[in-house]
Amino acid sequence: MPLIDSLSPRQRFLAATPDHSGDNKALKAAQHRQWLQEIQTWAGHEGASARLARHLTPVPILDDRLDTVTTDGRHLFFNARFTATLRPVERHFITAHLVWHCVCGHIVAQSHRDNLRWNLACEHEANYLVLLEGLRLPRDAVFYFSQAGRSNGQVYDWLAAHPHPQYDHHFDQHPLDPPRDYDEVTLVDPDYTPLDADDALANLWLELAQRERLATPLRAYLIKRQG
């Protein structure tokens, strides 16, 4: 299976690298244009997730609280310095990955779950749907081959017996990720205003996906998942 470059080394580099550009507005505007243009291009010929991505509003930010990307089911928040390092194939993966998080309801916080196991289970499921769509994963993507085709709830239970789940990690930010320590936050962007997601929003995303022209494996998986 062809893979794209790992995302986490770039994430760590950016988190430790201060911005010296002095032109944050221009960087954010350029990244916003690029993301919008690519989503429109992909939507014409690249599958369901690209068309579904048009329901997310891209919001470029420069904020110490977000190193990479996240979604609240309404917006696609991305650190403009991070995305400026990405190639189109990497942005395409990220877009699809976040869309499937929305469709599978991962955007709804599950405070009664073990946070690490739940995050990894959601990562696995979103990445499985990316593969079903025919897209490539990063080399460091969370994916458990023995659990292919299983829902995040099933993978969550399976991870209870995993000897070292802490060795795996997700590159994007999830609803219950611990916030950055206050003394580590010096750059705060007023455009970074994620909202809480609820079951109604998650159900809307599933309905939107079901209206799409889904490839047979995707449709079959989502039907099985509901059952």
Query: 69: which residues sit within 8 A by CB, 6+ positions away?
Result: 76, 77, 78, 79, 82, 83, 94, 98, 171, 172, 173
The 3-state DSSP class for residue 124 equals: helix
Percent composition of the chain: helix, strand, coil (DSSP 3-state, to 5):
50, 5, 40
The 3-state DSSP class for residue 151 equals: coil
Its pTM stands at 0.92
Residue 52 has pLDDT above 80, yes or no: yes
Summarize the confidence of residues 80-98 as an average pLDDT. 94
What b-and-e string marks burial along 125-138, b requiring 16 or more CB atoms within 10 Å of the CB?
A: bbbbbbbbbebbbb
Of the pLDDT bands very low, low, confident and very high (cuts 50, 70, 90), residue 183 is confident
Percentage of residues in the chain having pLDDT higher than 70: 90
| Of residues 81 and 184, more confidently modeled | 81
| 110 dihedral zone (left: phi>0; alpha: psi -120 to 50; beta) | beta
Query: 11: which residues sit within 8 A by CB, 6+ positions away?
Result: 67, 68, 82, 171
Positive/negative CA dihedral, 81, 27, 33, 61: positive
In this prediction, residue 4 carries a pLDDT of 62
DSSP designation for 180: P
CB 49, CB 100: distance < 8 Å: yes
What b-and-e string marks burial along 30-63, b requiring 16 or more CB atoms within 10 Å of the CB?
A: ebbebbeebbeebbeebbbbbbbbeebebbbbbb
Q: What is the pLDDT of residues 107-156, one digit of tens each?
A: 999 999 999 999 999 999 999 999 999 999 999 999 999 999 999 999 99
- Tell me the CA end-to-end span of the chain in Å, nearest whole number: 30
Element (H, E) at 39: helix 24-45
Residue 46 has pLDDT above 80, yes or no: no
In this prediction, residue 2 carries a pLDDT of 60
Cα distances (angstroms) measured from residue 100 to each of 28, 77, 108, 135: 25, 15, 13, 13
The 3-state DSSP class for residue 195 equals: coil
Summarize the confidence of residues 83-103 as an average pLDDT. 95
Residue 26 has pLDDT above 70, yes or no: yes
Summarize the confidence of residues 27-47 as an average pLDDT. 90
In this prediction, residue 47 carries a pLDDT of 82
Summarize the confidence of residues 40-50 as an average pLDDT. 86
CB 197, CB 56: distance < 8 Å: no
CB 122, CB 177: distance < 8 Å: no
Cα distances (angstroms) measured from residue 76 to each of 9, 35, 113, 179, 217: 22, 10, 25, 18, 26
